[in-house]
Amino acid sequence: MYFLLIIFFISLAGTAAIIGRKLILQRKGQGNGVGEPLFEIPPLSRLRNIAMAKARNLGDTMLVTAVKGYLRTVSFWKRSRDNAKIGIKKIWEKFDKPKTPGDKEASKFLKMVAEYKSKIRKIKHKLKEEEGLE
């Protein structure tokens, strides 16, 4: 805050000094008159040529900047889309349950338990046939 006030008062003092010097020169009669320009104005045709060249240069610069911005934006959106696809695919694979039991490989322990159950079932079936309970 103080910095801005200091800069303001310095510029105010500079402006006052410039105006004061102009007034002193006017009082002494050394100042330039009302009709006298401070610098030479070039012919209008030359100004038009300079303005056209600058406008053409500015147009080219704006075109290049617009194309670069477009390409960067498209590239950013493509990368974002690809990253989002990968993230969604990872989440989908994480929470998606296999459709058939053969999709996932069972652990050794579960295989042993399944074999044991099937053996017991076979033995029960044989005993029921021998006893004639069925």
Structural domains counted in the chain? 2
Q: Is residue 82 part of a domain?
A: yes
Q: What is the pLDDT of residues 89-124, one digit of tens each?
A: 998 888 876 666 555 666 888 889 999 999 999 998
Residues 84 and 53 placed together within one structural domain of the fold? yes
Q: Is residue 9 part of a domain?
A: no
Residue 31: CB atoms within 10 A of its CB come to 14
Residues 84 and 115 placed together within one structural domain of the fold? no
Q: Is residue 35 part of a domain?
A: no
What is the pLDDT, as a whole number, of residue 101?
56
Residues 91 and 109 placed together within one structural domain of the fold? no
Q: Is residue 51 part of a domain?
A: yes
Q: Is residue 126 part of a domain?
A: yes
What is the pLDDT, as a whole number, of residue 68?
93
Residues 62 and 88 placed together within one structural domain of the fold? yes
What is the pLDDT, as a whole number, of residue 103?
56
Residues 55 and 85 placed together within one structural domain of the fold? yes
Segment 27-45 shows an average pLDDT of 74
Produce one character per residue of 33-43: b if its CB has 16 or more CB atoms within 10 Å, e if not: eeeeeeeeeee
- Residue 116 belongs to what domain range? 105-134
Q: Is residue 23 part of a domain?
A: no
The size of the chain, in residues, is 134
Q: Is residue 114 part of a domain?
A: yes
C-alpha span between 59 and 6 (Å, rounded): 40
Model pTM? Answer: 0.40
